[in-house]
Amino acid sequence: MNTPATTTLLSVRQLTMRFGGLTAIDDLSLEVPAGKITGIIGPNGAGKTTLFNCLTGFYKPTTGSLRLNHPRHGEIRLETLPSHRVARDAQVVRTFQNIRLFPKMTVLENLIVAQHNVLQRASKFSIAGLFNLPGYRRAEAESIARAATWLRRLGLEQLADHAAGELPYGIQRRIEIARALCVDPLLLCLDEPAAGLNPRESAELNDLLLYLSGELGLSILLIEHDMSVVMRVSDHIGVISYGRKIAEGTPEQVKNDPQVIKAYLGEDDDEDDSEQRTHAVAGGANP
């Protein structure tokens, strides 16, 4: 599945999300190209997670539209769908900033639950499942094989039969990504996947993201604070501050944009401090 570099997968148009008096997203427009990694950065409280929540049906935007250009179903207006249909029909799948696994279930079970819709269809209202008919058995074996493939790719095979909630934080992050991949996403939305990871784990995450987009042609929308990840893997970056898009472009362009530097600094910072912080942003790409 090779898509031309110019195809737009998702276009966010004049999106506004208000909570009472607070405008979390303010007239935001953004294009997400197919088969690429699009980074979203911005200070805390800028509205990045809110954007994901609008995108995946957890919030209904106040105004604006989210149009997904689906290769099979044509244009899908994401803002009109409930969250489970965004994942199931539009194949836009997300992870959460504060990990949301099924903690008491094993890692493998987490990945099998992610394939619920396929399996449920194969189980024919559980009738085929209750009697363990061949059609259902085959579907189950396939789902296990698919889960096993991702577990192997993410180095989680040894942990497959452990309760997910008992594993270390960095591993839980990886499980959440593996689980999202099992939903068969067209667009994978990752909300700060490197948060809480050590440098080695961050580097592994880089490799994984590059593999997913480079080798598999998956489109990824990446919210990230860790500059070493976002600057290195993103093809394109959008910067949000106070709900508005303040800059957009390649990592190089964004890094040197005075607006971005200002947003990351705050306007009242004095000279010395701002100089230091500039280095922090600009030098972020180098570990």
Ligand X SMILES: Nc1ncnc2c1ncn2[C@@H]1O[C@H](COP(=O)(O)OP(=O)(O)O)[C@@H](O)[C@H]1O
**What residues line the site for ligand X (CB under 6 A)?**
19, 22, 24, 42, 44-50
Q: What's the rounded Cα separation, in Å, for the pair 208 and 42?
A: 23
Residue 203 partner contact from Mg ion, other proteins, ligand X, none using kind-dependent CB cut-offs of 5 to 8 Å: none
Q: What's the rounded Cα separation, in Å, for the pair 191 and 64?
A: 22
Query: Which region among 3-11, 158-166, 210-218, 242-250 touches other proteins (by CB under 8 A)?
Result: 158-166
Give me 59's structure tokens: 């919030």
Contacts of 220 (CB under 8 A, 6+ apart): 36, 37, 38, 187, 188, 189, 190, 209, 212, 213
Residue 24 partner contact from Mg ion, other proteins, ligand X, none using kind-dependent CB cut-offs of 5 to 8 Å: ligand X
Give me 162's structure tokens: 């452990």
Could you say which of 32, 35, 49, 59 contacts Mg ion (CB under 5 A)? 49
Residue 44 partner contact from Mg ion, other proteins, ligand X, none using kind-dependent CB cut-offs of 5 to 8 Å: ligand X
Amino acid at 113: V
56 binds other proteins (CB under 8 A): yes
Could you say which of 23, 29, 62, 97 contacts Mg ion (CB under 5 A)? 97
The smaller minimum CB distance to Mg ion, of residues 5 and 22, is found at 22
175 binds other proteins (CB under 8 A): no
Coil, helix or strand at residue 220: strand
Q: Which helix (H) or strand (E) holds 11?
A: strand 8-19
Nearest to 238 by CA among 93, 37, 79: 37
Pairing of strands 22-33, 8-19: antiparallel
- Minimum CB separation of residue 79 from other proteins in Å reads 16
Q: Residue numbers of the site for Mg ion (CB under 5 A)?
A: 49, 97
Q: Residue numbers of the site for other proteins (CB under 8 A)?
A: 56-58, 82-89, 93-94, 96, 100-106, 108-109, 112-114, 116-117, 119-120, 123, 126, 129-130, 140, 144, 147-148, 151, 157, 160-163, 179-180, 183
